Structures are given as structure tokens and as C-alpha cells.
Structure 1
Amino acid sequence: MLIKNILLPIIKKAKELFELILVTILIFVILVIPDFFLFIGDLNQYAGIRLLLTDIVGGVIAYFGYRYLFKRSDVVFERPNSRKVGITIAIFIISWLFIIYGLPALFESNQLTGSNQQAIDKILNHLTSWWSLLLFNFNIVVIAPIMEEIYYRGIMFEEAKPLGRAMQILWPTLVFALVHSPSTLAQWATYLTAGGVLMIVRVVTKKLQYTIMFHSLHNLLVLLT
């Protein structure tokens, strides 16, 4: 009776957590594949071709992630809902103002971006041709948001379901912040805020198309500013 009522549920949850960790590692490995074309070797050599390959590979990864997710749960697309679009835009404006003005005031620092953003800035400084810059911006604004939303707030969210609603929400948010390489408390606050707000949009709208829209708009504004 003791084994059935106490030990078996613990073993089951431990097994589910272990499986979620394995899925998380696999997702991390999959999502860094396109980066190999950018960060290995000198970016100045064949920059346009390497960026094109990055976009193509990223698109393929997003497609297969979508197909896998679609078989489990139809959570990616629906006919655009004006109410959900309005909610997404409202949340975006509030969160953007908080990240731009609230966090710097809270931490008395404007250094809110981690090494991930610094790597992006470094790449931008190395791009000289208009078409390589266009390909890189396309990756940042379109490909990367689609990939990350499908895998983090799509597949990872669904895989965490057996561990409860709290784990579904907290795990992808924490992993999302972690992979952006924050190194200070302020940077952790920035990425946890971004991941948390994206998760709010995911839970409220129940469709990834709105988190993709949010993520793309955020990355576009970061590039512009």
C-alpha cells in the first residue's frame, strides 16, 4: 500500500521530469543548428550564403517542429481573432514600456542584454552588403520567432503538461531566459519578463500565432532601436 500510494506517484513524476529534461536538451540542440553557419569561422567569408543557409535550415526546423506539434495539438494557427490581436498588442505595449523604462530604472542600469544580444550586435557590425543584412534581419524578425515559439511555447509547453499547469508555464519561461545567456540580475529580469509575457499571451490566446506576432514585433523594434 505504501509503495502504491506514495512511491509510485513519486517515481512517475520523476520519470516525467527526466523525460522533460531530455526533450529540453534535444530542443536546445535542434535550435542551435542554424547558428553553426554564423558562428563557426570568419563571418566575413561568404556571409550572404551562410545567412541564406541559416534561414533555410531554420525554416526547415520550424516546419518539422510545426508538423510534430500539429499531430499532438492544434495550437499554432487559427483564423485571426481581432480580440486576441488587440489583447496581444496591448500586452506588447505594456511589456515594452516596462522593459525600456521600468527595468532600467529598477536596476539603475541600461545593460539589460546578455551575451546573446552582444553576439547579434557583433554580427550586424560585420555585415556590409544590403542583401546579407536583409537575410539576417529576416532571420531575427521572422525565422527565429517562429522557431522559438513552436519549440518553447509549443512543444516544450505540451511536453510539460503531465507535470501540471505551473510547470507548463514556468519551465519554458525559465529555459527561454537561460538560452539567451543572461549574466547579471538585470539581464535575467529582462529575459524572464520577455519569456513570461510571451507565456501570458500563449495561455490567454491559446494559439502560437499571437506569440509569434508578439515575438516578431519585439525583435523588429530591438533592431530598429
Structure 2
Amino acid sequence: MSILKALLYTILLFVIGVILSIGFQSVISILDLNPEHLIHYNSVARILMKILQYSIILFLVFKLWFTPSDLLIKLKKINWETLLLILIISIGFEIFTKIFLDIKLLINTYEPETINRSDYRFKYLWTYDLIRAVIFAPILEELFFRKILFTRLLKKHSFGVSAIVSSVLFALIHIPNWLNLFPIFLFGIISCWIYVKTKNILYPILFHFAGNLIVSLSSFYSQQISSFFQELNYNWVYGLILIFGVGITLFGLRKLKKAPID
């Protein structure tokens, strides 16, 4: 696959998402829905849009079909040591990339948003986002960006070019999450490397699952986490924590590189 084609397919994915978003919002606005239940309708709509957006391009455009037996074969090849290393990499990655989320705090232009976590709306929103980000996003995004784009780019380009292009596109699809673009790009690079190393798409999916789960849990306890780091005042202890994150990420990657993969 050429780089231009990869870009065009990503634009198509984005356009499908926009069309579905407009369609769902139009339906919700037309229907006489109970305002108290809008939080549920909108949240379920976001989940359905995610599923439809990727399903259209994966199954209708790329004809990516698989049987339960195919999935069972992949599951049987899961190595628990490899899985543990991927979890270690994921934890380390989320620790050291926290600095990118703290940039606004470091330059003193941002005050953390105060959220009432006892508010039932927050709990519902968090639960719906957890379902979307932890269950559906890892599967759908890894199938498109790693299984489809990266693999097809790799047939025509080097690993470096293929990983960079697919990871840039992976990051751009998450706009307007500007501060997280570089961490998402790095995440994509690591995910590509894991896929090449293991030759099993389930490992990048599990890496994605672990990362999103950590982020979701962190968002639930964001006030406590923010208070902890603010009390450190971003001093040398803060720096040591980030270095620790880099260290265990590199440790996990090095061990995974040497690990035998069935």
C-alpha cells in the first residue's frame, strides 16, 4: 500500500465517523426523548458510532472476515510470559507519558477541572466511556491501523516508514486531543513493533486494552492523582517517577525482544 492510499483510507474512516455522528445526532434531536435519559442515548450512540465506523471500513471496504476458529487459534498461541511483558510495557508507558498531560500545569496556564465524582452523570459517562475505550477501541483500532494499514504499508516500505506513517495517522484520528498526540504516536510505534515481533494481532490489542484501562482508571481517580503530583510540585521525585516509567518500558521491550514467540 502506498502512503497516499493509507492517508486516503484514514480520511475515509474520519468521514464515515462524521456522517454517522451527524446522523445519530439528527435522530436523537428528532425523537421526543426524555431529557433525563439523554446521557444514556448519547453515550450509547457514541459506542454504536465507533462500532459502525470501523466495521464499515474493515468488513465492507477491506473484506476483513474471520471465523471463530481463526480467533481460537490466535488465543491458543497466547504466551503468558509475553502477556506479562506487554502489561509491564503498558504500565511504564502510561507513567512516563504523563508529563505530556501535565504540560498545561507545568506552564501554569491550566487549572484542573473539578468534577463531582459522586454525581450519577459522571459515573454513567465514565462507565460508557470505559466500555467504548477498553473493549471496542482496542479491537477496532488495532485491526485497522496495525492489521490493515501497517501490514499493507510494510509490503512496500521499511518497518520504520510503515510504523511512522501508520502511527501518525493513528494519532491524527484522535484529534482534537492535542496534548496526547505525541504519546499516541509513540504508542502506535510500540504497537507496530509488538505486532511484528509476535505476529499475532491479539498482542497489540491486549497492549491497547491495558493502556486504555490504565487511562480510564486514572481518569476516575484523576483528582487524587493530580493532587499527589501537585504536592510533589514537579520536583526531582516527579522526575524519578517519570524515569522509572521509562526504565520499566525499556525493560519490558528488551525482554520481549529476547523472548521466544511461538
Shared fold, TM over 0.5: yes
- Is the Cα–Cα contact under 8 Å of residues 61 and 147 in structure 1 kept in the other structure? no
Alignment partner, residue 81 of structure 1:
77
Alignment partner, residue 96 of structure 1:
91
Alignment deviations for residues 42-72 of structure 1 (CA, whole Å, 9 cap, x no partner):
x98712012212223323444442572348x
Q: AA paired with 1:90? A: L
1:9-28 matches, within 5 Å, as 16-28=2-14
Q: Distance in 2 between matches of 1:180 and 1:133?
A: 18
In the TM superposition, residue 100 of structure 1 has moved relative to its aligned partner by 0.9
Alignment partner, residue 172 of structure 1:
166
Q: Distance in 1 between matches of 2:129 and 2:12?
A: 25
- Is the Cα–Cα contact under 8 Å of residues 202 and 211 in structure 1 kept in the other structure? yes
Q: Distance in 2 between matches of 1:102 and 1:31?
A: 28
- Is the Cα–Cα contact under 8 Å of residues 150 and 163 in structure 2 kept in the other structure? yes
What is the DSSP-based 3-state SS (H/G/I as helix, E as strand, rest coil) of the residue aligned with 2:121? coil
Q: Distance in 2 between matches of 1:155 and 1:162?
A: 11
In the TM superposition, residue 24 of structure 1 has moved relative to its aligned partner by 2.4
- Using the aligned pairs only, state the percent identity: 23
Taking only aligned residues, the RMSD between alpha carbons, in angstroms, comes to 3.9
- Is the Cα–Cα contact under 8 Å of residues 55 and 139 in structure 1 kept in the other structure? yes
1:58 counterpart (33, 50, 63) = 50
What is the DSSP-based 3-state SS (H/G/I as helix, E as strand, rest coil) of the residue aligned with 1:163? coil
CA 1:92–1:35 in structure 2 vs 1: closer, same or farther (change >3 Å)? Answer: farther
- Is the Cα–Cα contact under 8 Å of residues 140 and 219 in structure 1 kept in the other structure? yes
In the TM superposition, residue 190 of structure 1 has moved relative to its aligned partner by 1.7
Larger Rg over CA atoms: 2
Bigger shift: 61-70 or 91-100? Answer: 61-70
Normalised to the residue count of structure 2, the TM-score between the two structures is 0.58
CA 1:140–1:103 in structure 2 vs 1: closer, same or farther (change >3 Å)? Answer: closer
CA 1:89–1:133 in structure 2 vs 1: closer, same or farther (change >3 Å)? Answer: same
Alignment partner, residue 117 of structure 1:
none
Q: Distance in 2 between matches of 1:122 and 1:156?
A: 39
Q: Does 1:223 align with 2:219?
A: no
Q: Distance in 2 between matches of 1:123 and 1:142?
A: 25
Q: Distance in 2 between matches of 1:98 and 1:158?
A: 24
Normalised to the residue count of structure 1, the TM-score between the two structures is 0.66
What is the DSSP-based 3-state SS (H/G/I as helix, E as strand, rest coil) of the residue aligned with 2:91? helix
CA 1:127–1:50 in structure 2 vs 1: closer, same or farther (change >3 Å)? Answer: farther
1:30 counterpart (16, 19, 26) = 16
Q: Distance in 2 between matches of 1:210 and 1:169?
A: 16
